[in-house]
């Protein structure tokens, strides 16, 4: 099942999540720090958290 189906994401968001998961796996395999996914999309952020990635939402820093 794809991320788009699993989380109800738009296709490009699902592609971003898949790429982030793959890159994060490579980083961890080579003892590098985990990536931090940056997104202001609440639906995508929830999927990112469910996949165990770190997330940073730039909207949290608006004044």
Which pLDDT belongs to residue 1?
64
- Predicted confidence at residue 16, as pLDDT, reads 95
pLDDT in tens, 14-49: 999 999 999 999 999 999 999 999 999 999 999 999
- Give the helix ranges, DSSP H, for the chain: 3-7, 11-29, 42-50
pLDDT (0 to 100) of residue 62: 81
**Cα-Cα-Cα-Cα dihedral sign, residues 39, 35, 62, 50:** positive
């Amino acid at each position: 099942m794809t991320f788009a189906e699993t989380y109800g994401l738009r296709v490009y968001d699902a592609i971003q999540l898949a790429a982030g998961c793959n890159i994060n796996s490579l980083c961890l395999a080579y003892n590098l720090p985990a990536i931090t996914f940056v997104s202001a999309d609440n639906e995508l952020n929830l999927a990112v958290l469910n996949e165990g990635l770190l997330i940073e939402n730039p909207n949290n820093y608006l004044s």
